[in-house]
Amino acid sequence: MDLSVERYGVAMNEAGINGAAIKFDTRLLSPIYQFLQCETPEQWVEKARQPENLPVLLRDHLLCELKAAQSAMFLIRKYAVDPESADTLLAWFQPYEDFAYKKIGDIHSLKGKSQVTKQITARAKSAYGQDLIDKMVLLIKEELHHFYQVLEIMDAKGISYDSISASRYAKSLFQHITNHEPYTLVDKLIIGAYIEARSCERFAKLAPHLDEDLGKFYISLLRSEARHYQDYLALAQLISKEDITARVSYFGKIEAELIQSPDHDFKFHSGIPIIENR
C-alpha cells in the first residue's frame, strides 16, 4: 500500500493545479494514512473525477457536511448540555434543516448562520464536561460553514440542490455500535473519527483532479477535517475507561471493507464503483 505523502505532492503538480497557490502541509495527512486501514481505490477516484458525476458528488458532500454537524449536535444534546442549550442547538440548526429537508430558504438566507449566538453549557452533574461541548461546538461551526461553502460552489457552477439518498457507509458503521454506555458513546466517537479521516483522505485524493477552485477548496478543508478526526479520537480515549486501540482497529477493519468492496451506489464515501454492462 503506497500511502506516502510525497506521492500526493507529486500527483498535485502533475495535475497541473497551481501548486504555489494550493500548497498544503502534507504532514497533515500522514497520521490519517496511518489511521485508515486502506487507501481510496483508484476506481473510485476515476469515477469521481468524471464531470458528469460532479453534481452527485457535490450534493452528497453538501449533505455530509450537514450530517457531520448534526451528529456532533446530537452527541452533545444527548450526553452533555443543559436544557436551555439543547433548545439553542435545535434553533441553530433549524434554517439548515429547513433548507436541506424542506427546501425552505436559500444561499442568501443561510449566509452568516454558522455562528451560534448563545453560550452552550454543560448540564449539572454531566459525566462529560465542557471540554466535549467546546470541541463539538467548534466542529459544528466549521461543518456548517463548510456546508455553506459547498452551497456557494454549487451555486457558482449552476448545480441545483436536490435531496439525495444516503450511502451505505455511515449506516453500516453505526450498525456495529455497542448498546451499553459508555461504550456506545466511545463507539460513536471512533466512527466520527473514521468518517472525518476518510473525508480528509478523499479531499486530498480528489483535489488534483478537480478544477482549480474546487481543488483549492478541498485542500482548504484538510486542516479542519484532520483536526476533527483527532478530536473525536482523543475524546473517545478520554471517555473510555479502557484502552481503545482494539476498538479503533475493529471499526477500521469495517470501514476499510466498505471502501474496498463493490458498491452499486456512487457517493462521497461509497465503495468500488461497479461498472454496469449494458
DSSP letters for 2-24: ---HHHHHHHHHHTT--TTTT--
| Residue 70 vs 273, nearer CB to Fe ion | 70
Q: What are phi and psi of 238, to 5 degrees?
A: -65, -40
Judged by DSSP in three states, 272 sits in strand
| Residue 248 vs 273, nearer CB to Fe ion | 248
Euclidean distance between CA atoms 115 and 92, whole angstroms: 8
Residues engaged in binding Fe ion (CB under 5 A)? 65, 68, 143, 146, 196, 225, 228
Q: In this structure, how many other beta carbons lie within 10 angstroms of the beta carbon of residue 176? A: 11
| Residue 143 vs 255, nearer CB to Fe ion | 143
Q: How far is the CB of 146 from Fe ion (least distance, A)?
A: 4
| Residue 199 vs 270, nearer CB to Fe ion | 199
Judged by DSSP in three states, 273 sits in strand
| Residue 100 vs 273, nearer CB to Fe ion | 100
| Residue 204 vs 273, nearer CB to Fe ion | 204
Euclidean distance between CA atoms 182 and 236, whole angstroms: 10
Euclidean distance between CA atoms 78 and 168, whole angstroms: 24
Q: How far is the CB of 20 from Fe ion (least distance, A)?
A: 25
Q: How far is the CB of 196 from Fe ion (least distance, A)?
A: 5
Q: In this structure, how many other beta carbons lie within 10 angstroms of the beta carbon of residue 174? A: 12
The burial of 193, by beta-carbon neighbours within 10 Å (0-12 exposed, 13-18 middle, 19 or more buried), is given as buried
Euclidean distance between CA atoms 73 and 92, whole angstroms: 10
Q: How far is the CB of 147 from Fe ion (least distance, A)?
A: 8
Cβ partners under 8 Å of residue 132, min gap 6 = 75, 76, 79, 80, 235, 239
Q: How far is the CB of 139 from Fe ion (least distance, A)?
A: 6
| Residue 112 vs 158, nearer CB to Fe ion | 112
* Type of residue found at 179: N
Q: How far is the CB of 226 from Fe ion (least distance, A)?
A: 9
Our separate counts of H helices and E strands in the chain read 10, 2
| Residue 142 vs 263, nearer CB to Fe ion | 142
Euclidean distance between CA atoms 129 and 81, whole angstroms: 9
Q: How far is the CB of 49 from Fe ion (least distance, A)?
A: 21
Q: How far is the CB of 71 from Fe ion (least distance, A)?
A: 10
